[in-house]
Structure 1
Amino acid sequence: MPNYCRVYIPGGTYFLTLVTYRRRPLFKNSSNINLLRSSIAKVKAKKPFKIIAAVVLPEHIHFVWQLPPNDSDYSQRISRLKVLFTRAFKLNQISNIQISESRRKHRESDVWQRRFWEHLIRDETDLQQHLDYVHYNPVKHGLVSCPHLWEYSSFSTWIKKGRYSQDWGCICGGKALKPFDFKRISQKVRE
């Protein structure tokens, strides 16, 4: 088993990737997205943090979170988020996916992959690359043709802040677009 070494910096900003178990498209269902939002709100109420950016795709989620100045425990927040969502989801669903003996032993369900990926944002350039990745992700996965067409993203918030234009990454109206190159961060995002 790999030896995971996470970086914990008080007040840090982190890019996070959470993936559903066996990449089940749980978030194709808008009611599950509402359960996710509710779970996030509960976590934030107990352990505050700021959501800088987010995108929810059918089988995975990307976040950029900023923690309070005296707090570095994003792992506990992720754990709690997974537990709260799983409980709410299980109340609304019947699952017939077979769970491995290992998952049963560790009291894991059939909702989330065992771990999550994190990357400490190091500077403004690193942040911009990850914001671009988050907001372009629905296009990258072929879910929409332009970032502004994906409903479950923080892209519209960043347009209002003036960080992006409405036509960023857009091919509407026949506009030609040079493909984005995410090679620099591809090892950090771990889809």
Structure 2
Amino acid sequence: MHYRRSVIPGGTYFFTVNLFDRKQTLLLDHIALLRDAVSQVKARHSFSIDGMVILPDHLHAIWTLPDGDRDYSKRWMLIKASFSRGIMKGEQISMSRKAKGERGIWQRRYWEHLIRDDEDFQRHVDYIHYNPVKHGWVKRASDWPYSSIHRYIKKGVLDPNWGVSDVTGGVGFGE
């Protein structure tokens, strides 16, 4: 099966990237390693991070690539590989992964979505920032330390009380 991805040079994309074992908490357990991996790749293969949230077992990000560049898959491959090299081996690995020399840390695929316009961008930024509330990690989006919401608050774009969970189950951001 040939999997088609949307590739627009200089585009802005929303991503969801998951650990293979969704019960693991590796992304938070090794947050410094993940940050280093992203920083190193970003230094060699420029892109801007417009929004990002790191949860224990998955992350969401919005990236804008440089004009003429459409290779986000290389960047994700490098980030995942760098992070994986820093994790002690010991995870269970399927025969197909062993045959390909892969670790069992990340899901092979990830979700990407080409951002179409300003409204789509805002909807996905809101989704990213609200995600820790949605998953029950915090009651207020700004209480989650691993989120770009803090940059938005510092710039005055969002109020610190934005995305407060209420008794009815939230403010309406869903998957």
Q: TM tier, shorter chain?
A: over 0.9
2:145 corresponds, among 147, 151, 159, to 151
Residues 23-78 of structure 1: per-residue CA shift (max 9 Å, x gap): 1211231xx11000101111011100000110000000111000001101100000
Secondary structure of the 1:18 match is strand
User: How far is the alpha carbon of 1:88 from its aligned partner?
Assistant: 1.7
Are 2:164 and 2:170, in contact at CA under 8 Å, matched by a contact in 1?
Answer: no
Match of 2:4 in 1: 5
**Amino acid aligned to 2:6:** V
Structure 2 counterpart of 1:115 = 109
1:182 Cα shift? 3.4
Aligned residues: 174
1:39 corresponds, among 22, 37, 44, to 37
Distance of 1:68 and 1:168 partners within structure 2: 30
Partner residue of 1:84? 82
Q: CA deviation at 1:94?
A: 4.1
In 2, Cα distance between equivalents of 1:163 and 1:49: 22
Q: Which amino acid aligns with 1:11?
A: G
- Higher share in helix: 1
SS at 1:65 equivalent: strand
Q: Which moved more, 1:100-109 or 1:142-151?
A: 100-109
How far apart in 2 are the matches of 1:139 and 1:182?
A: 10
Alpha-carbon offset, residue 178 of structure 1: 7.4
Identity of aligned residues (%): 46
| Preserved CA contact (<8 Å) 1:169 1:177 | no
Q: What TM-score comes out, normalization by structure 2 length?
A: 0.93
Structure 1 residue aligned with 2:120: 126
CA-CA distance at 1:107 after TM superposition: 1.8
Q: State the 1:177 CA deviation.
A: 7.4
Are the aligned partners of 2:130 and 2:173 in contact in 1 as well (CA < 8 Å)? no
Q: Which amino acid aligns with 1:123?
A: D
- Unpaired segments of 5 or more residues in structure 2? none
Is residue 180 of structure 1 aligned with residue 171 of structure 2? yes
Number of the residue aligned with 2:13:
14
Gapped runs of 5+ residues in structure 1?
Answer: 187-191
Check conservation: 1:15, 1:120, Cα contact below 8 A.
yes
CA RMSD of aligned residues (A): 1.7
Describe the SS at the equivalent of 1:22: coil
8 Å contact kept, 1:108–1:114: no
Judged with a 3 Å threshold, the aligned counterparts in structure 2 of structure 1 residues 144 and 178 are, in CA distance, closer, same or farther, namely closer
